[in-house]
Amino acid sequence: MKIRAIEELLDSGGAGWKLVTEWLAEATNEIRVLERDIAKGTAALFETQVTTRSTMGAIIFHTGGILVDHAWIRILGSGSTEMQRSLPTWNQGKAFVNYGESIPFLLVADDAVGGFFALNTGGLGKDQGRMYYFAPDCLEWEPLELTYSAFLSWTFTGDLADFYQDFRWEGWKEEVLNMGADRVMSFYPLLWVDFKDLEERKRKTVSVEETWGLQMDLRDQSLSKRENENG
């Protein structure tokens, strides 16, 4: 992939950010835009190699990230004191090893119970450019039939309570706000174990890194088992 200089990635017209700010003004869900550090924003934009004409590039360059619905959803930007992860650093070691490589997907957001949102860049299905959700209750990538921009709009104005109706417990707002945007809630029995009542599960906070690694390991084990069973 040809590496573009930072000057090629910066749009003087600010089209992407104008669109994002319009959506933020119209948001019906609780939103908090994390303050960016301009040096980190510039570095993250260069590492991601997207332009600020796009909504993704605008969020990376202009924000440290965006927390939606009392920090239940965390949209990755360039990182901040409240959410240390930037979009490119979070993807390194997951979607790619070295910057500049072709990637199968791009992790762009996650949620408080260990669900991950990714943009399909060819490795998740034939619908390249569409969003997927890695569901913590089944450990599968589920297509959302949304572009990245449509996904942003959905998080700002969509019915998140309906989407997460099986994953929220009494008093979740305070617990999620207090645990921080680089941690997630872990349940026991685990969410992919057939145990219906969320309120009866034990829960504790763990790092989002730990959750990603565990879920990917379990998914790989499940896929390997199925392949062996099918010969």
φ/ψ (deg, to 5) at 70: 60, 40
| Domain coordinates in residue numbering, the chain | 6-159
| CATH code of the domain made up of 6-159 | 3.40.1580.10
* CA–CA gap between residue 70 and residue 181 (Å, rounded): 10
* pLDDT tens track for 20-32: 999 999 999 999 9
What is the Cα gyration radius of the chain? 18
Residues with Cβ within 8 Å of residue 189, at least 6 apart in sequence = 195, 201
* pLDDT tens track for 183-226: 999 999 989 887 668 888 999 999 999 999 999 999 988 777 76
The answer on pLDDT for 102 being more than 90 is no
Predicted TM-score of the model (pTM): 0.95
Q: Are 211 and 191 in contact (CB under 8 A)?
A: no
